Amino acid sequence: MEPEEPDEDEFVDENDDGEPFLDTCDQCDGLLQLGLYEGDDPLLTVLPDSSAIYQDDPKRDGTVMVMVCSAECLQKIEERFRQRPFVHEELWAGKIVRAIMGHPQGLSPRELERETGLKPSQIMAGLSWLEERRRRSKQSGEPGGPVAG
C-alpha cells in the first residue's frame, strides 16, 4: 500500500485553534495570507534597526525582519528605515540593559564585557547614550524619566 499524497491544505500555517495565521503588511497593514510565498505573496526582508534587541537570539540584535505585501510596500518600508539612522551606541545600550536585566545581582565590568560581547569603550559609549536619553527624558517630561513624587 502506497502512502497518500499530502493534501495541499496540510501545508497552511495554523494557530492553536486550527485557524490559518493572518498577518498584516508591516507597511500598509493590508492582510497577508502566509505560507505560499510565490507570485504576489508576502515578501520578507531583514533591515538594520539599532533599537532591535532580542532576548533569546542576540545574534539578531540590530536587525528587524519585516513582511510586506508588495514590491511597492517593500520600497516604502526600506525608505522609512533609511531615514532613521543606525546608532551604534543605541545598540550597545540595548545589549547592556539586556545583560543587566538578566543579572539583577549585578555584574562586574569583566562579566558585563563577556555578557554583551562589547569592548570597554563600547560599554562606556552605550552607558553615555543611556544617560543622555535619561537626561533628555527628564527635561522633557517624557515617559521613562523619573517619576515625580
The one-digit pLDDT tens for each residue of the chain (149 residues) are 444 444 444 434 455 566 565 688 999 998 886 654 555 556 888 999 999 999 999 999 999 999 998 889 999 999 999 999 999 999 999 999 999 999 989 999 999 999 999 999 999 999 999 999 999 988 887 665 443 33
Looking at residue 42, what is its pLDDT?
67
- Closest C-alpha to 81, from 45, 109, 54, 57: 45
Domain ranges of the chain: 1-86, 87-149
Looking at residue 149, what is its pLDDT?
32
55-77 in b/e burial notation, b at 16+ Cβ within 10 A? eeebeebbebebbbbbeebbebb
pTM over 0.75, yes/no: no
CA atoms 16, 20, 25, 29: torsion sign: negative
Residue 40 CA to residue 19 CA, distance in Å, equals: 22
